[in-house]
Amino acid sequence: MKLIKNAVYLFVASLFLTQSCVKDEENIFDDTASARGQKAVEEYRQLLVSAENGWYVDYYPELDHKVGGYAMYLKFSSDGTVDVSCEIATNLPARQIETSQFEVFMEQGPILSFSTYNKVMHYFSEPYSTDVNGREGDYEFIIMKTETDEIIIKGKKGGNKMTLRRNTGNLNPDTHLAEIADLVYKLSTYGMFEFVVADNSIGIATVTERTFDMEYADNTNTAKISYAFTADGIKLYEPYTLNGVSMRNFVWDDANERYVCTDQGANAYLKAYFPPDYQIKYDDFLGKWKLNYQPRNSSGWLTADMDTVEFVELKRNSSFMMKCDKMFNFAGITLTFDSRKGTVSINCINTDVHSSGNFIRQCPYDTQAGYIYTSVYNPPDYLGGLIGVWNNDENGERIITFEDNKVWSTYTADGILLRLYNASNTSQGNYSGNIDGKYGFRNLVLTKVD
Amino acid sequence: MKKIKIFLIIIMTAAIAWSCSEEKLNDESVFKDPDPALLTEFDKWILNNYTYPYNISFKYKMEDIESNMTYDLVPATTQKAIAMAKIIKHLWLEVYDEVAGVDFTRTYIPRVIHLIGSGAYNTNNTFLLGTAEGGLKVTLFRINDLDINNVSIELLSDWYLKTMYHEFAHILHQTKDYPAEFKAISNSDYIGGDWSSNSATLAMAYQLGFVSRYSRQEANEDFVEIIAIYIVRGQANWDSILAQAGTSGAAIINQKLEIIKSYLRNSWNIEIDELRRVFESKASMLNYLDLSNL
């Protein structure tokens, strides 16, 4: 028995002896974790401030880069302020520089935060009662990787990765961003592109907010490729890889109307694409047309007439104002443009505000039945109206006639009628205050004047 | 054998004593004060007007993790944050200072005030004006909508001050509870989350003896709503509520107000009418407050 007892004692004692601790654990770092964090924060701040000519970044709002990026200029100062400007006009004049504060601090990782309101930066994140998420842009970023001339950041909520590129070439931000804006403006008339890789057409890309919606030729798949504009072309959010070839940077070739990939080993381009039923390009609509029409006033239809009208840009690639001082004593008739088909339409739109404060509304008009379509155009609703049909003679005269677009099922529009509406959308009668009391027009035919 | 035992015991004791040696603590704190070189004039003003006297962290720079991540929000502009900092000090902190003494204010006031530039919008066409968390932090939204050149006490009260008086009253009753008889008065008319349903109208709330629709959430909310509305909305507004409440509704509201008056008097040595008087007198000086400069 004693023997067992002693054995137990010895065993227990030996346990204590074997109990050891790793006494000589070496610190891997010389400093504490918090001290290292502080130091890193200071280094990141120094790096940001060190770019005397600032940084450029393609800023991608919205989760998962659903839409494309916007060129932005950032200049950090040692007093904790940052200047921000962007290629697009938002709630202030385009490329105006706005100053606010920035911070660098540690959470799970180093964070760059635009912590006080900046009209340019926070335009992309501002929520509204009518759009509670706003454009979902980030203004707090995790600093992922830094090099002397490049900082990779990732939006904390949206997760988009963006690269701050040091402005080594000392590009003037106003000039540089204006160059980009000019290219955006110029290229905004192209609604579709054919993607050609190694001389094979791989599909058609439809443009929506700086994103190519790819429909592949073999119908296997679809893809969204988002991009941002550069001064001479576009840069994709991330490389697009096909058959082992990686493509990201494209330069616009104006003569051939195509984006050409400049990446090594790539033989690819995106060529402006016009579907077979495409009519006329936006830019070709601009300028003077002859308009044949038959007007009416309160005493009825008058004899047919002809005047010269002018198509003026209202919203690029989206709408025109058809002006004519002899026909209208207000801005004119608004025509909507479909960039996918190259067609114009006359929809039910408040085209101008009358001096009385009422809206002048152009209503599609069934002149036979004597009915008008009054619901204001608000895509995708209330699309009723007249669509322009081209005579499809590439070489001869360009002639456009108008016919009902078959949205208004009860009646068939063959003209337009001008009517006044007050702010609460109540009709104030026909607009007989127009020149010669003419408030109705039908049998519209446009002929391009060269 | 005993000797062996003793021997073993000695060894064991030694083994225990021979444990890990303690590492010396680093005498440098891991918490660093902010670099004074990076403090703006406004930061220094906050230190002198909020942090040192009241131990309040006044966060005018947006911190995502301090806010509700389910909302999309933007920061406040520095200009408007300066205006708000002055308004809150003048019409909230200093009102309590004057009535109950600065020690009272600095003991019970929430420790964090966080400003957000945008509203926190919900999809059902409502939005948050302010939130408070456990008496510790008050968050105020829509700071960027403040028009510095055109402030009115009514707007400030509706948007911000009512919320602050409301939340602070919560802190008071959570520290010292109010008499149970208050809870009994409208016990059957508290309807929880249904207070915001369309059928629970404001007129109905008045007639049942409440000063707002939200009061019907529960007794604590009822209690603090009376305090906040009584202080910031003024006598004319109060009379109008009583008139709309009708005889029975007004009687209930007055009964509740009397309990509140004696509670504040007995538990905190505060006269609610004095709070209101000081609030109104400070509100009348609002136009003399320089909201644009520190």
Q: Where are the domains of chain B?
A: 36-288
Please check the confidence at residue A13 and state whether its pLDDT lies above 80: no
Out of 2.40.128.370, 3.30.390.30, 3.90.1010.10, 3.30.300.30, the CATH code matching A33-170 is 2.40.128.370
Among A6, A115, A131, A133, the strongest candidate for a mutation testing the B interface, having the largest count of B CBs within 10 A, is A115
A32 with A40: CB under 8 angstroms? no
**Residue contact B61–A101, C-beta within 8 A:** yes
pLDDT, chain B, mean:
89
Interface of A with B in 16-45 (CB under 8 A): 16-17, 19, 21, 23, 32-35, 38
β-strand B57-59 against B112-115: which pairing, if any?
parallel
Which band of pLDDT confidence, cut at 50, 70 and 90, is reported for residue B30? low
Write out the two tokens for A375.
């619901």
Please tell me if the domain spanning A33-170 has the same topology as the one spanning A189-272. yes
Give the dihedral of Cα atoms A170, A174, A179, A185; nearest 10 deg: 160
3-state secondary structure of B287: helix
A415 with A387: CB under 8 angstroms? no
In single-letter form, the type of residue at position A400 comes to I
pLDDT recorded at residue A63: 87
Counting DSSP H helices and E strands in chain A, the numbers are 4, 30
Instruction: Tell me the β-bridge partners of A1.
Output: none
pLDDT recorded at residue B285: 93
Cis peptide before A380 (omega within 30 of 0): yes
Return d(Cα A94, Cα A91) in angstroms, integer.
9
Q: What is the 3-state secondary structure (H, E, C) of A349-402?
A: EEEEECCCCCEEEEEEEECCCCEECCCCCECCECCCEEEEEECCCCCCCCEEEE
The CATH architecture to which A189-272 belongs is Beta Barrel (2.40)
Question: Percent of chain A scored above 70 by pLDDT?
Answer: 95
Closest B-chain CA to A42: B35
Question: What is the rounded average pLDDT of the residues B99-104?
Answer: 96
Please check the confidence at residue A312 and state whether its pLDDT lies above 60: yes
- The runs of H, that is alpha helices, within chain B are 2-17, 41-46, 52-54, 78-88, 94-100, 102-108, 153-156, 162-175, 180-185, 202-207, 219-232, 234-268, 272-283
Question: What is the rounded average pLDDT of the residues B187-201?
Answer: 90
Question: What is the rounded average pLDDT of the residues A287-305?
Answer: 96
Where is pLDDT greater, at A354 or A29? Answer: A354
Please check the confidence at residue A250 and state whether its pLDDT lies above 70: yes
- How far does the CA of residue A124 sit from the closest CA of chain B (Å)? 10
- Please enumerate in sequence order all residues whose Cβ is within 8 A of that of B68, keeping only pairs 6 or more positions apart, or say none: B120, B131, B139
Q: Where are the domains of chain A?
A: 33-170, 189-272, 282-448
**Residue contact B8–A13, C-beta within 8 A:** yes
- How far does the CA of residue A40 sit from the closest CA of chain B (Å)? 14
Helix (H) or strand (E) holding A311, with range, is strand A305-315
Which band of pLDDT confidence, cut at 50, 70 and 90, is reported for residue A20? low
> Which has the closest alpha carbon to A399: A444, A336, A335, A347?
A444
Which band of pLDDT confidence, cut at 50, 70 and 90, is reported for residue A34? confident
Please check the confidence at residue B86 and state whether its pLDDT lies above 60: yes
Return d(Cα B151, Cα B167) in angstroms, integer.
22
pLDDT, chain A, mean:
91
The sign of the CA dihedral A117, A119, A122, A125 is positive
Out of 3.40.390.70, 3.30.530.20, 3.30.930.10, 3.30.460.10, the CATH code matching B36-288 is 3.40.390.70
* Ordered DSSP codes for A116-141: S--TTGGGGT--BTTBTTTT---SEE
